[in-house]
Amino acid sequence: MTHKKSLKTLFCKGILIGIFTLFIPGNSISYAEWDNGWPVRVLETDDQTGDWKRLQMAGPFLEQQKGIRALRPGTAIFDNPAVGGQEAHYLYPLWNYYYEEHNLRWDVFSLMTFDKTWYDGKVKSQRFNIFPVYFAQQTDNPDTSYHGVFPVSGNVRNYFGADKISWAFFPVSLQVENEDQKRYSFPWPFIRWQEGATPQTGGGAAWPLVGHFYKQGKYDHQFGGWPFIYSYRDDLDSNTPKLRQAVLPFYALETGPKKDSLTWIWPFFSHIEGKEEPTYVEDQFLWPLVIKARGKERHITQALPFYAYSKLKDREKQWFLWPLMKQTQWNERGLRIDRQQLLFFLVWREKQHSIANPELAPAEKTHVWPLYSYWDNGAGEKQFQFLSPFEVFFPGNRTVREAYTPLFALYRYQEKPNGDLYRGFLFNLIIYESTETHAKFSFGPIFETRKDAEGESFQLFKGLIGYEKKNGKKRLKLLWRNT
């Protein structure tokens, strides 16, 4: 892999971007104009229509855009009029609320959850859970309804990979159902047995000493002294059944339609042969420290923590002095993506190149945690923020971006594809905007100056004292009145 710029240049690049954007002149058609009454109100309006676009109040703590409202820290509300819905987050991620045309759901830290669905004024399903102590679901089908108080008594459906789980004074009694088989525990996990719809399904266990579960034509699982000795056979009705058996740590064997593997003195020596096309051969020594793999679409050379290289299909990854530096390249949605990371998140950069049109400018995103984040969509739209402690951890999370990120925006810079520029300092206490039609600077409500094709003006305290020169005519403003 080749990279035009090394990670060590990113910090300097970010600082230069932050400095140079203070002085870049703008020249284009305007999108917006700002009315700065910080900290009471900062209003962004459309320069052509006069319609409001963004309202900020109490510094960075209150903000409203069309379809978005934020009360910081932690609260963000998103409207979706296309489906008549709304999404709200309060002290995110503590309480989350979602409403659509036929569905309402909310959760408290994903532990207390409520979900209700209705059609034509009739409730189809309603679910309320307080994990892990209370579970309830009521539907128009008794086979999908359930109720349980854990660990006292009850049942749930479609949880933890099981069709149905029932309990009574857990762990005294537990029953797990899947398709036509039931597995009982009394008490869990020590004494277990299994029953099925046919005599060919059964088995039992005195865990962890010994166990045997089977279903004719499907599987046969045996263990002794779990997890050290076991023999699991699956897909017995196929032409290539799977086998997993081991006497750990001395020996482990796995065979199946996709791969065969053999391990001696785990995890020291392992040999793997991929059987599906494209095939490969892999050897591991003291996994995961030393790995060597070769195949048509698999190439791995790994000697951790010094160096690691892997290529799986069209995805390449390199580590240098793990976990110091990581480089990754892959293709996705018609894009060639290059990502570089220093200590996972300390420095993070990603560039996206068009595969079909490689001459196009790449899109770029850079984070130097926690100092700054920089975005460039490759089509002329750019953003820069200082400080930025969250973006690298929550990429694409619009709730974090609205509820928390602006609280750290000591300086923000935005450039539109047509060249319009905006710079905001100290949560918009100081704003500078530059377009083809005008340039404007404001220091809260204290001082404002503006220059456009018709002339120039300045004012103190929104017109307490002011001066304007327009079309060659001069006039003063005193006590918010023209003289």
Q: Yes or no: say if 295 and 280 are a contact pair by the CB < 8 Å rule.
A: yes
pLDDT digits (tens, 9 = 90+) for 27-86: 333 345 778 889 999 998 877 777 888 999 999 999 999 999 999 999 999 998 877 899
- Dist CA 354 CA 361 (whole Å): 8
Reply yes or no on whether the pLDDT at 245 is more than 90.
yes
- Residue 179 pLDDT class (50, 70, 90 cuts): confident
Structure-token pair, residue 448: 């404002």
Q: Where are the domains of the chain?
A: 322-399
Reply yes or no on whether the pLDDT at 198 is more than 90.
no
Cβ atoms < 10 Å from Cβ of 114: 16
Judged by average pLDDT, the poorest of 285-294, 324-333, 427-436, 470-479 is: 470-479
Structure-token pair, residue 138: 């009521």
Q: Yes or no: say if 197 and 184 are a contact pair by the CB < 8 Å rule.
A: no
Reply yes or no on whether the pLDDT at 17 is more than 50.
no
Measure Cα distances from 82 to 41, 56, 104 in Å.
30, 25, 16
- Dist CA 435 CA 43 (whole Å): 17
Q: Of the spans 38-52, 226-240, 435-449, which averages the highest pLDDT?
A: 226-240
Reply yes or no on whether the pLDDT at 1 is more than 50.
no
- Dist CA 391 CA 397 (whole Å): 8
Judged by average pLDDT, the poorest of 109-118, 132-141, 235-244, 455-464 is: 455-464
pLDDT digits (tens, 9 = 90+) for 297-346: 999 999 999 999 999 988 999 999 999 999 999 999 999 999 999 999 99
Mean pLDDT along residues 372-392: 95
Mean pLDDT along residues 138-166: 94
Q: Yes or no: say if 195 and 206 are a contact pair by the CB < 8 Å rule.
A: no
Q: Count H helices, E strands: the chain?
A: 2, 46
- Dist CA 291 CA 443 (whole Å): 60
Percent of the chain with pLDDT over 90: 74
